[in-house]
Amino acid sequence: MAYDKFEVLTSTAYPLPIENVDTDQIIPARFLKATERKGFGDNFFRDWRYDSEGNAIPDFPLNDAKYAGSKILVGGKNFGSGSSREHAAWSVYDFGLRCVISSFFADIFRNNCLNIGVLPVQVSPDFAQKLFDAIEADPKTEIKVDLPNQTVTLLSTGDSESFDINGYKKGNMLNGFDDIDYLQNMKEEIAAFGETRPF
Amino acid sequence: MSKTLFDKVWDSHVVRKIEDGPDVFFIDRHFIHEVTSPVAFVGLKNRGIGVMYPEKTFATADHNTPTWNQHLPVADPLSANQLEALANNAAKYGISHWGLGHRNNGIVHIVGPENGITLPGSTIVCGDSHTSTHGAFGAIAFGIGTSEVEMVLSTQCIMQPKPKKMRINVNGKLGFGVTPKDVALYIISQQTTSGATGYFVEYAGDVFENMTMEGRMTVCNLSIEMGARGGMIAPDEKTFEYIKGRKHTPKGADWDKAMEYWQTLYTEEDAEFDAEFTYNAADIEPMITYGTNPGMGIGVTKSIPMAEEVEGGIATYKKSLGYMKFNEGDDMIGKEVDYVFLGSCTNGRIEDFRAFCSIVEGRQKADNITAWLVPGSHKVVDQIKEEGLDKILEAAGFVLREPGCSACLAMNDDKVPAGKLAVSTSNRNFEGRQGPGSRTLLASPLVAAATAVSGVVTDPRTLLEEVTV
């Protein structure tokens, strides 16, 4: 499923300074019943955004007008732990975000994000704290995520840090390519390998 | 260089190494279920591509299925739609499908091993993080996302960088009333919920060597709960004994050939790990969680730690206890419980039902407890009946439900109501995991049974007679 290319993104950000946010919070299991990939943004953080009566909780950052329209979410340490549901990454994308910044990501969530065009940016705990502090001081603080140069910059102060991404995945994100296209083009090699497997 | 068990299996499945990128990694066995596969099939259709090896994929309905009156049509239209999509997709592409009501139906991580699909030295994936269960057989098994499900369907490969390697040793003799679930919850409490992120774990030491295959599956199942991609245990005679003669296990000359390979699956003496931890079996007691991730576990007789004593942010810790309606310093023993859930891919096997029965036999379910006892598969149900455990449960006031994932993730009707407290043998105590607003204490089948008959969190050792060997 090709997605829009990701090059440089400059945006305000939603702050979510809670640790160990699991994918059951990002999208609760009861919203996984679709057979098509659409509309998951509505249920993004459903039980943190709405009370049991379905009323929006106004001071939850994702509902807070002062952050509205941000394309980046800055999350606490160990973001995306738990279930492998790709629906969590889809809900990030469908909510309108293209980048999640955290000081630590759970493996499967990070991988799922990269596969669907959401860039996970891992920064140092100190830098993450700087981002939270800056957003708290001014919700209109802009963050620049520069994929070609692999840097993330807090525009208000000029503070910047580089981040890791392997060259292959970086190329995919820059071009909007995905792994399935790559694998489709090496099916003969795979078939030959498959012949050698004992079971 | 000397190789670990993990190196041997991983390296033998690399089709291509991409410079500054992932490995193209070949998958021997692929499980699919109704929740994470439909969108992958839509992807195949949109791209106009097919399934490369339909015989290497196995479909089972489990996440979204009712555990009561399975012979009736599924009432929830969305669930019914997913089950139908799974059946149709399997039929269209020639994939074996064990749907609701099929004799082989059950939780994917229980029916895989039961039917000999899970083999040592193989690579196994499924769109479910508890796929790590199959590592108990010396397989590399882990959860994947739906994009990767589509990759496996269309090319039998995924693209993953090789994880780092961790070994966790537990040596010594487990205490009375201490089960494999407690060993796993203890390890996770030491590692925290993210301590093994980026690693693939090998479990070693005499505690695992002495464990049954069911116990090993429970331990490997929970590897993901400390962030690890998966966990594995070197295959041994117990492993071979378990798989021999099962439906999909190699037979005759193929078995002999496979055995030759399987005997080579161990970590060489001087092989190196990126991280290694050693724990003492004597330090482990029956465990229970008190917070909202599986790393927040303590011995059942202990009290909830003070915020200053735990690793991580104080605000996150207080939010977690606030959700649980618990206070720092609270004792766990004696907390009044509303629900008890026995089941899931973690503890839905025959051994778990035996353990539960060892406590409830001759006792009665407490009046304040709603109990859901959900076997992991029809084969588990059959064995429960064969051993007469159903009679013990019935006499004690319990009812056996039909197989499925059930209240572990509450996608079906088995939802713990808001505010209610459940002791659950499943794998996750996240906020709302067992239903919106539900509160979960993870524990072993023994702790669950002791709680079910007492109505409050109870140390199972107070209800069991110690057998000295």
- What would the DSSP string read from start to end of B322-361? HHHT--TT-BSTT-B-SEEEE-HHHH-SHHHHHHHHHHHT
The verdict on residue A86 lying in a domain is yes
- Which residue, B353, B446, B371, is CA-closest to B416? B371
Minimum distance, in Å, between the CA of residue B20 and any CA atom of chain A: 5
Cβ–Cβ below 8 Å for A24 and B428: yes
- Same domain as B295, residue B256: no
Amino acid found at B351: E
Interval B260-308: pLDDT, tens: 999 999 999 999 999 999 999 999 999 999 999 999 999 999 999 999 9
Kindly state the average pLDDT of the residues A148-171. 97
Encode burial over A95-104: b for 16+ CB neighbours within 10 A, e otherwise: bebbbbbbbb
Chain B residues whose CB is inside 8 A of the A189 CB are 15-16
Interval B370-399: pLDDT, tens: 999 999 999 999 999 999 999 999 999 999
The verdict on residue B254 lying in a domain is yes
- Same domain as B332, residue B217: no
Q: How far is CA B317 from CA A96, A141, B5, B289, in A?
A: 29, 28, 37, 13
Mutate to test the interface with A, among B34, B52, B147 (most CBs of A within 10 A): B147
Interval A57-93: pLDDT, tens: 999 999 999 999 999 999 999 999 999 999 999 999 9
Contact B435, B418 (CB under 8 A): yes
Detail the DSSP E strand segments found in B334-456: 339-342, 370-373, 421-424, 439-442
Cβ–Cβ below 8 Å for B28 and A20: no
Q: How many whole angstroms separate alpha carbon B406 and alpha carbon A5? A: 40
Minimum distance, in Å, between the CA of residue A132 and any CA atom of chain B: 14
Q: How confident is the model at residue A160 (pLDDT cuts 50, 70, 90)?
A: very high
What is the model's pLDDT at position B346? 98
Percent of chain B at pLDDT > 90 equals 98
Which domain range does residue A78 map to? Answer: 8-195
Cβ–Cβ below 8 Å for A190 and B157: yes
Cβ–Cβ below 8 Å for A33 and B79: yes
* CA-based nearest residue in chain B for residue A169: B21
Minimum distance, in Å, between the CA of residue B190 and any CA atom of chain A: 16
In total, the C-beta contacts within 8 angstroms joining chain A to chain B are: 208
- Same domain as B369, residue B303: yes
Kindly state the average pLDDT of the residues B157-173. 98
The verdict on residue B469 lying in a domain is no
Interval B281-293: pLDDT, tens: 999 999 999 999 9
Please report which helix (H) or strand (E) contains residue A160, including its range.
strand A160-162
Cβ–Cβ below 8 Å for B257 and A166: no
Which domain range does residue B210 map to? Answer: 5-275
What is the model's pLDDT at position A198? 87
Interval A117-155: pLDDT, tens: 999 999 999 999 999 999 999 999 999 999 999 999 999
Instruction: DSSP letter for B272, please.
Output: -
Minimum distance, in Å, between the CA of residue A171 and any CA atom of chain B: 10
Cβ–Cβ below 8 Å for A20 and B312: yes
Cβ–Cβ below 8 Å for A35 and B409: no
Higher pLDDT, B311 or B193: B193
Minimum distance, in Å, between the CA of residue A174 and any CA atom of chain B: 15
- Same domain as B201, residue B323: no
- Same domain as B308, residue B175: no
Residue A2 has pLDDT above 70, yes or no: no
Of B227, B247, B275, the one marking the end of a domain is B275
Q: ipTM strictly over 0.95? A: yes
What is the model's pLDDT at position B1? 84
Amino acid found at B427: N
* CA-based nearest residue in chain B for residue A84: B129
Cβ–Cβ below 8 Å for B197 and A166: no
Cβ–Cβ below 8 Å for B194 and A83: no
Name B179's Cβ contacts closer than 8 Å, sequence gap at least 6: B215, B218, B286, B355, B444, B445, B446
- Which residue, B136, B128, B117, is CA-closest to B28? B117
Kindly state the average pLDDT of the residues B138-142. 98
Interval A3-56: pLDDT, tens: 889 999 999 999 999 999 999 999 999 999 999 999 999 999 999 999 999 999
> Looking at residue B49, which CATH number applies to its domain?
3.30.499.10
The verdict on residue A2 lying in a domain is no
The verdict on residue A64 lying in a domain is yes
Mutate to test the interface with B, among A27, A83, A184, A186 (most CBs of B within 10 A): A83
The verdict on residue B326 lying in a domain is yes
Kindly state the average pLDDT of the residues B62-87. 96
Q: How many whole angstroms separate alpha carbon B85 and alpha carbon B70? A: 18
Mutate to test the interface with A, among B18, B26, B35 (most CBs of A within 10 A): B35
The verdict on residue B313 lying in a domain is yes
Of B243, B275, B307, the one marking the end of a domain is B275
Interval B425-443: pLDDT, tens: 999 999 999 999 999 999 9
For B367, counting Cβ atoms within 10 Å of its Cβ (0-12 exposed, 13-18 middle, 19+ buried), the class is exposed
Cβ–Cβ below 8 Å for A33 and B82: yes
Chain A residues whose CB is inside 8 A of the B131 CB are 84
Residue B468 has pLDDT above 90, yes or no: no
Q: How far is CA B159 from CA B25, B57, B150, B282, B451, in A?
A: 6, 18, 12, 41, 45
Cα–Cα–Cα angle for B312, B317, B320, rounded to 5 degrees: 140
Q: How far is CA B296 from CA A106, B332, B424, in A?
A: 17, 13, 14
* CA-based nearest residue in chain B for residue A178: B147
- Same domain as B149, residue B116: yes
Name A178's Cβ contacts closer than 8 Å, sequence gap at least 6: A1, A2, A3, A115, A172, B147
- Same domain as B416, residue B308: yes
Of B24, B52, B250, which has the smallest distance from its Cβ to A199's Cβ? B250
- Same domain as B215, residue B112: yes
Name A41's Cβ contacts closer than 8 Å, sequence gap at least 6: A91, A93, A94, A95, A96
* CA-based nearest residue in chain A for residue B227: A106
Chain B residues whose CB is inside 8 A of the A125 CB are none
* CA-based nearest residue in chain A for residue B431: A25
The residues that bridge with B339 in the sheet, in sequence order, are B370, B422
Mutate to test the interface with A, among B118, B159, B223, B224 (most CBs of A within 10 A): B159
The verdict on residue B281 lying in a domain is no
- Same domain as B296, residue B227: no
Sign, Cα dihedral of B351, B352, B355, B360: negative
The verdict on residue B468 lying in a domain is no
Minimum distance, in Å, between the CA of residue A31 and any CA atom of chain B: 8
Kindly state the average pLDDT of the residues B210-217. 98
Q: How many whole angstroms separate alpha carbon B382 and alpha carbon B384? A: 5
The verdict on residue B355 lying in a domain is yes
Chain B residues whose CB is inside 8 A of the A35 CB are 38-39, 42, 81-82, 85
Of B275, B297, B328, the one marking the end of a domain is B275
Of B21, B79, B193, which has the smallest distance from its Cβ to A81's Cβ? B193
What is the model's pLDDT at position A3? 81
| Count of domains observed in chain A | 1
The verdict on residue A3 lying in a domain is no
What is the model's pLDDT at position B194? 96
- Same domain as B199, residue B137: yes
Q: How many whole angstroms separate alpha carbon A11 and alpha carbon B195? A: 32
The verdict on residue A13 lying in a domain is yes
Q: How confident is the model at residue A199 (pLDDT cuts 50, 70, 90)?
A: confident
What is the model's pLDDT at position B469? 45
Q: How many whole angstroms separate alpha carbon B136 and alpha carbon B352? A: 16
* CA-based nearest residue in chain A for residue B12: A197
- Same domain as B269, residue B208: yes
| Count of domains observed in chain B | 2
> Looking at residue A170, which CATH number applies to its domain?
3.20.19.10
The verdict on residue B420 lying in a domain is yes
- Same domain as B316, residue B208: no
